[in-house]
């Protein structure tokens, strides 16, 4: 990174803000690469997500919140695979006008999530860009050999399950953004704050990962919308499903939003940014997953059942068929 206005250069920035977050596999961020050491009998799980200002977050969002979300969405992917986080690499493209105070706040947010998840920084790159702030994180996790939970394992007769509550992230985007719809004003300040926090600060369900590994037949995280992501899981498994939309869990804040504007129910089901776990399991394994969810402080709702009709998903609301023109967030 080139110097501008006497700001520190790349290596000084790394030493000052990012080296303190680094784990032993990062070699102090003084080398050209990291060295991962998976335990005997374990396999690596790798996931990556890129975030661009104006597309995945608002350019004026707090720096710490941007960092927290960037890492959390990757940790959510690891959790859905039943993996334990081992480390991550960060690529950060800073736009013109960045400040060291902004970078310090970003690093603090990153460190908070990395510390909570025991997932240290092990490498990456920092560059300048003439475009918007852009960052990409690649996270590494590990699972016992052969135990990663795939999307493709759902079987006819399995239950369709989801953790936590759905719709908070998509509603929170509207409640937090600059162009707030009219319904936002009808919510209490507490509801608006709750929804905005769920959008800004996803909560990866890492405490549920081992239970998925032991008891789920298929799993993925809900990032692009429950309806669209369920379609991806079912397509990978070559099965269908029957889903009761009335059983989809909503937070009190989301329910209040839907009461303010009933059309928001569809946004909750399709909007994305939930980062909950969508999984399938046999009826025999269901009680174990419920117990694990309770131990992790999570709700776990059964919203339907897997069928043998590949590519066919039947949604019902109040006992009547329901269809969707678009099921998820579109990246392009």
Check which CATH number belongs to the domain holding 176 and give it: 3.90.650.10
Arithmetic mean of pLDDT, 91-97: 92
151 known ligand binder: yes
Task: Identify the band that residue 3 occupies on the pLDDT scale cut at 50, 70 and 90.
Answer: very low
- What's the whole-number average pLDDT of the chain? 90
Domain ranges, residue 176: 151-322
Q: Tell which of 144, 162, 186 closes a domain.
A: 144
pLDDT one-digit tens code per residue, 64-77: 999 999 999 999 99
125 known ligand binder: yes
Q: What is the CA radius of gyration of the chain?
A: 21
Q: Tell which of 109, 144, 179 closes a domain.
A: 144
| 331 within domain boundaries | no
223 known ligand binder: yes
Distance, CA of 6 to CA of 293 (rounded, Å): 51
Are 30 and 137 part of one and the same domain?
yes
Beta carbons of 173 and 199 less than 8 angstroms apart: yes
Are 179 and 241 part of one and the same domain?
yes
Give which of 113, 112, 119 is closest to 85, Cα–Cα. Answer: 119
Checking if the pLDDT of 26 tops 50, the result is no
| 263 within domain boundaries | yes
Q: What's the domain count of the chain?
A: 2
What pLDDT is attached to residue 15?
59
Task: Identify the band that residue 324 occupies on the pLDDT scale cut at 50, 70 and 90.
Answer: confident
176 known ligand binder: no
| 5 within domain boundaries | no
Are 123 and 170 part of one and the same domain?
no
168 known ligand binder: no
Total residue length of the chain: 332
Distance, CA of 79 to CA of 282 (rounded, Å): 20
273 known ligand binder: yes
What's the CATH number where 115 sits? 3.30.1330.10
Are 162 and 307 part of one and the same domain?
yes
Query: Where is average pLDDT lowest: 67-81, 119-133, 301-315?
Result: 119-133
| 332 within domain boundaries | no
124 known ligand binder: yes
Highest mean pLDDT among 25-39, 42-56, 281-295: 281-295
């Amino acid at each position: 990174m080139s110097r501008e206005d006497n700001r520190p250069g790349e290596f000084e920035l790394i030493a000052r803000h990012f080296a303190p977050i680094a784990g032993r596999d990062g070699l102090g961020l003084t080398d050209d690469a990291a060295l991962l050491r998976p335990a005997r009998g374990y396999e690596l799980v790798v996931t990556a997500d890129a975030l661009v200002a104006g597309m995945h977050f608002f350019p004026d969002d707090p720096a710490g919140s941007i960092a927290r979300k960037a890492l959390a969405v990757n940790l959510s992917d690891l959790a859905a695979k039943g993996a334990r986080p081992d480390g991550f690499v960060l690529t950060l493209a800073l736009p013109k006008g960045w400040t060291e105070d902004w970078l310090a706040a970003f690093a603090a947010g990153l460190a908070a999530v990395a510390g909570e998840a025991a997932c240290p920084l092990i490498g990456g790159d920092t560059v300048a860009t003439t475009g918007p702030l852009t960052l990409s994180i690649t996270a590494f996790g590990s699972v016992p050999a052969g135990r990663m939970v795939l999307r493709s394992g759902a079987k006819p007769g399995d239950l369709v399950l989801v953790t936590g509550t759905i719709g908070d992230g998509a509603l929170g985007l509207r409640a937090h953004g600059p162009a707030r719809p009219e319904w936002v004003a009808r919510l209490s300040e507490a509801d608006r704050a709750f929804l905005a926090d769920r959008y800004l600060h996803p909560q990866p369900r890492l405490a549920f990962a081992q239970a998925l590994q032991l008891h789920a037949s298929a799993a993925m995280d809900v990032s692009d919308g429950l309806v669209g992501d369920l379609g991806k899981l079912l397509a990978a498994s070559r099965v269908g499903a029957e889903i009761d939309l009335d059983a989809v869990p909503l937070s009190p804040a989301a329910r209040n939003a839907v009461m303010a504007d009933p059309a928001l129910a569809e946004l909750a089901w399709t909007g994305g940014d939930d980062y909950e776990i969508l999984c399938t399991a046999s009826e025999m394994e269901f009680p174990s997953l419920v117990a694990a969810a309770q131990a992790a402080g999570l709700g776990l709702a059964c919203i339907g059942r897997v069928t043998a009709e590949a590519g066919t998903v039947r949604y019902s609301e109040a006992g009547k068929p329901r269809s969707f023109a678009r099921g998820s967030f579109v990246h392009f």
